[in-house]
Structure 1
């Protein structure tokens, strides 16, 4: 096990544990070996603190940049990560298991008590086809660069998703498809065109500050 073989935790050491259901607990190592160990939970240090009900829809880019998007999204606070294949997606390969592991590591590092689910890669059309009627989509449309966007406080506490495009943006057909979704709210991320990974961080930051749990 990583805890014992790599981190070299020994009997008597204390660690913080979470399982995404019961909050965070202080536990003591009762048995330790390279392959297995036993930890005994002693006290709960924090209750379960799920992130706001916001999903991130993003087009995978290069491996390092996609990893960055996943890690920062977890740190900033998302409930679900939804990779989508678009016409201009730079990469058609997405290792869901690796990205789920990256999400778990990011949650451990930032002190989260829940690891967001990372979905399998599906087409944008497939993702939008059965979109929940009660979940709004904040579409970060680069064509709106420089146009001010304000989110009203009345939208706080409701289910949301943030849609980030690939390098090269969305195709005309995709733009028409996204615009046809009633739950879509178009937004600008400022006067400059951002890289995909920068846009994801910027959009989540703005959403959290306006409607999330940063208030």
Structure 2
């Protein structure tokens, strides 16, 4: 049997979940299930709330355009949030949506917008970021929806990182070398430490910002190769590298 059931739609809900509960669908969810997906009475739906695992429910019509969900049984136990913090300079809205979704797919447990000198836009729609995180979790079988923080200035964000957390800093000026070897050397020979990833804006970090980041203990500057990548592309590349070498992709 497959680990996940991708044949049934998945919905994130805020309610507590337990067998026998009857939960009303929000209007947008009812429209999605009844009109977009054409689901009918007794069709299965998978529910999760980030606290109590995943549960199978069935649709029970209450009107032509409304329905309840009747919770039946738990299909998977709750998993903890991954201990990977993703810090990034916000981008324009469409690419920011993409970035948030990919960070969730790649196993980020915290999504933290960071305002730098060259950040393109300092106004960040945090609720939209959270909605994108939820949507990615729904589509990818993820049970623990990452926390989305309010934007912070770079110095404040750096001060909030625990000293023991290894911060992987994407630096286009770092020597072009083997990024896998650089990550392994930074982690040492013991177990992989808690991880953080920092990706800057399209214009890169200002010189004084680069110095501030590099001065933080337990930080490694990582080049992603000879090509300059867009910030959203760099995010996917570095998260894949970190997860493959030190994270849950080992």
TM over 0.5: yes
Q: Which has the larger radius of gyration?
A: 2
Q: Which has the higher contact order (CA 8 A, sep 6+)?
A: 1
Match of 1:178 among 210, 213, 216: 213
Aligned to 1:2: 28
Q: Give me the TM-score of the superposition, normalised by structure 1.
A: 0.92
Q: Distance in 2 between matches of 1:113 and 1:33?
A: 30
- The offset of 1:145, in angstroms, is 5.2
Match of 2:106 among 76, 81, 100: 76
- The offset of 1:183, in angstroms, is 2.1
SS state at 1:192 partner: coil
Moved more, 35-44 or 177-186: 35-44
Assess, with a 3 A threshold, how the Cα gap between structure 1 residues 165 and 10 changes in structure 2: closer, same or farther: same
Q: Distance in 2 between matches of 1:39 and 1:30?
A: 6
Aligned length: 215
Contact 1:5/1:33, CA 8 A, preserved across alignment = no
Assess, with a 3 A threshold, how the Cα gap between structure 1 residues 123 and 33 changes in structure 2: closer, same or farther: farther
- The offset of 1:50, in angstroms, is 3.4
Contact 2:81/2:145, CA 8 A, preserved across alignment = no
Assess, with a 3 A threshold, how the Cα gap between structure 1 residues 133 and 106 changes in structure 2: closer, same or farther: same
Q: Distance in 2 between matches of 1:34 and 1:23?
A: 30
CA RMSD of aligned residues (A): 1.9
Assess, with a 3 A threshold, how the Cα gap between structure 1 residues 38 and 144 changes in structure 2: closer, same or farther: same
Aligned to 1:46: 76
- Post-superposition Cα deviations, 1:161-197, rounded to whole Å, max 9, x if no partner, equal 1000101110011011101111211211112111100
Match of 1:202 among 212, 234, 237: 237
In structure 1, stretches of 5+ residues that fail to align are none
